[in-house]
Amino acid sequence: MANNATEELIDLYGLRTARQRRRALMQDREQELIALHNERRSIWAAKGALPMIPLEEPYQRGWIRTFEVKDEVQRSEQHEFYARLLEKINTVMYDRDGRFIKKVKYRHNRKWVAEPVPQYLKTFRHWEWVHRSCPLTEKERELFTTVLHYELCGRKYVPSILYEFAEPWRYVLRIRPHMITEVQMLDADLESREQKLEQHLTQNKLEPVMQRLTEGYGKWKFRIRQPEYDPTKNVPLHALIACNEDY
């Protein structure tokens, strides 16, 4: 009888228990964090939408390496076709001193050895190849071949099908100075708002809680382990047979 009377008083006067008050307080704090997350994303979007300002005196920042059409191909009748194709499969790499090398430590002698960094033309996965957003035309697709590739997934290597350009000799790597000719405009108001927001999140250690509310996890060890992806799933049989025949 006492419990029923208490519940009637709570319903009648709008009173809440201690547990309900605590839950409402936690919900209010979560809504505040979500609002801060949305504010930070809006600040990033506003900064990205600022226009670019050309520099009066451009300066060099490192070196850039890209593919270019060979001279003999440029003198041929199909130079426009291969130039348009290069815009879709070209890759870019940057380096500070222009040497494009990396240090690798081998296990047998435990010494660091400088090796050149390889660079290849863009390859397409099967889902990119069949997706409607693939930029390649039917004539350009004829110049690609299927390759069976093994990639590390978890703790084991799994096979996957890649489509790569069959005539890479038509292009050559060129290293040029990376010149900065324009910079993005800065907004003092946006920079101040972002700095205050980041300082508030860092001092109060709210980043993990915000990440859990917006993305579903707080730290890496709490992430849900996804099932292993099978790259040969939904791949047509003739593509798998073609890859096996190549090897």
Nearest to 125 by CA among 166, 88, 162, 159: 162
pLDDT at 9: 60
**Token couple for 192:** 């101040």
pLDDT at 224: 43
pLDDT at 164: 94
pLDDT in tens, the chain (247 residues): 556 666 666 655 566 778 888 888 888 899 999 999 999 999 999 999 999 999 999 999 999 999 999 999 999 999 999 999 999 999 999 999 999 998 887 766 778 888 899 999 999 999 899 999 999 999 999 999 999 888 877 778 888 889 999 999 999 999 999 999 999 999 999 999 999 999 999 999 888 888 888 887 544 444 444 455 566 666 777 776 766 665 5
Rounded CA-CA distance 139/156 in Å is 37
pLDDT at 106: 76
Rounded CA-CA distance 95/177 in Å is 10
pTM > 0.85: yes or no: no
Q: Which long-range contacts (CB under 8 A, 24 or more apart) does 192-196 make?
A: 193/39, 193/43, 194/40, 194/43, 194/47
pLDDT at 222: 41
pLDDT at 140: 95
pLDDT at 13: 58
Alpha helices in 154-228 (DSSP H): 188-203, 207-215
- Contact yes or no for 178/61 (Cβ under 8 A): yes
